[in-house]
């Protein structure tokens, strides 16, 4: 079949797992795995943009990740600063930066000021682009998102599927069509639980730093096989 006739996912989401194991296998410190993971994400943005995928959402740092060793947390945070500073690259790809997570000023939120600034600047400096929407989930957890959405829905009247959807962190984001998790784990890990009811889930044994355009194509093929059934 002509592959241009096959359906394409509108929204691809990634749980970027396995940076630590990737580094271990090479006898490198874990942080080297995260550094390579950030590079792989830049590659995934290019690949998604080249394939004209409208939405890409990635799990950068979860509400559960704060308990990791301080030096590791500090390194992952510095990589987020680096990622959000890739503004020229985003503009070359006509891609917009977005963010989901616990709103900066809300009780319990933990995004440090320097990451807040990097996020705010990246969003402003890429807002004019019209292609790929790249959403980074940082200080994000689906239960926190849903609890907040339900509370807001209740305070505004009725709790219905629509009223919950309208109070998510990014209400205009479409549901996920294809959820990818790398590194052999087959868990969802509190990621976008409301947004994945119909998603094809693609698990690969490759660690996130090895994720590339060919892997994205494999995942898209799996989505297309699902749609043809």
What SS3 state is found at 164? Answer: helix
- Rounded to a whole number of angstroms, the minimum distance from the CB of residue 86 to ligand FPP is 10
Q: Are strands 133-140 and 55-62 parallel, antiparallel or unpaired?
A: parallel
Q: Calculate the dihedral angle through the C-alpha atoms of 135, 141, 144, 147, rounding to the nearest 10 degrees.
A: 80
Burial class (CB in 10 A: 0-12, 13-18, 19+), 71: exposed
Residue 18 or 167: the one with the smaller Cβ distance to ligand FPP is 18
DSSP assignment of 109-151: ----HHHHHHHHHHHHHHTT--S-EEEEEEEE-HHHHHHHHHH
The DSSP code sequence of 60-91 is: EEETTGGGS-HHHHHHHHHHHHHHHT-HHHHH
Please say which residue, 190 or 224, places its beta carbon nearer to ligand FPP. Answer: 190
For the bound state, the minimum distance from the C-beta of residue 16 to ligand FPP, rounded and expressed in Å, comes to 4
Shortest Å distance, C-beta 139 to ligand FPP:
12
With respect to ligand FPP, which residue has the nearer C-beta, 9 or 101?
101
CB of 68 to ligand FPP, least distance (A): 7
Indicate the helix (H) or strand (E) that contains 200: strand 200-203
Nearer to ligand FPP, 58 or 119 (CB): 58
Burial status of residue 189 (CB atoms within 10 A of its CB: 0-12, 13-18, 19 or more) = middle
Residue 125 annotated in active site: no
Residue 111: CB minimum distance to ligand FPP, A? 13
Q: Which H or E run includes 57?
A: strand 55-62
Helix (H) or strand (E) holding 92: helix 87-92
Choose, from 24, 65, 91, 190, the residue flagged as catalytic: 65
Candidate list 17, 19, 93, 177, residue with the active-site label:
17
Report the residue number whose CB is nearest to ligand FPP.
Answer: 20
| Residues at the site binding ligand FPP, with contacts judged by CB under 6 A | 16-21, 34, 37-38, 41, 58, 60-61, 65, 76, 79-80, 83, 136, 183, 208
Nearer to ligand FPP (CB atom), residue 6 or residue 85 = 85
212 among known catalytic residues:
no
Q: Which residues are catalytic?
A: 17, 65
């Amino acid at each position: 079949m002509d592959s241009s006739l096959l359906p394409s996912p509108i929204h691809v989401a990634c749980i970027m797992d396995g940076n630590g194991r990737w580094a271990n296998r090479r006898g490198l410190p874990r942080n080297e795995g995260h550094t390579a993971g950030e590079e792989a994400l830049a590659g995934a943005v290019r690949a998604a943009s080249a394939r004209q995928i409208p939405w890409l959402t990635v799990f950068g740092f979860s509400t559960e990740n704060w308990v990791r060793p301080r030096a590791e947390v500090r390194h992952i945070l510095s990589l987020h600063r680096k990622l959000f500073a890739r503004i020229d690259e985003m503009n070359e790809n006509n891609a917009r930066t977005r963010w989901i997570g616990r709103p900066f000023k809300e009780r319990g939120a933990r995004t440090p000021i320097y990451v807040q600034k990097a996020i705010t600047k990246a969003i402003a400096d890429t807002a004019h682009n019209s292609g790929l929407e790249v959403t980074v989930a940082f200080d994000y957890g689906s239960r926190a998102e849903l609890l907040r959405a339900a509370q807001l829905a209740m305070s505004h009247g009725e709790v219905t599927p629509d009223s919950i959807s309208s109070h998510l962190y990014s209400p205009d984001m479409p549901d996920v069509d294809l959820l990818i998790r790398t590194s052999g784990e087959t868990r969802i890990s509190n990621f976008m639980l409301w947004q994945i009811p119909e998603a094809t889930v693609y698990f690969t044994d490759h660690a996130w730093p090895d994720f590339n355009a060919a892997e994205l194509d494999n995942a898209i093929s799996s989505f297309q096989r699902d749609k043809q059934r």
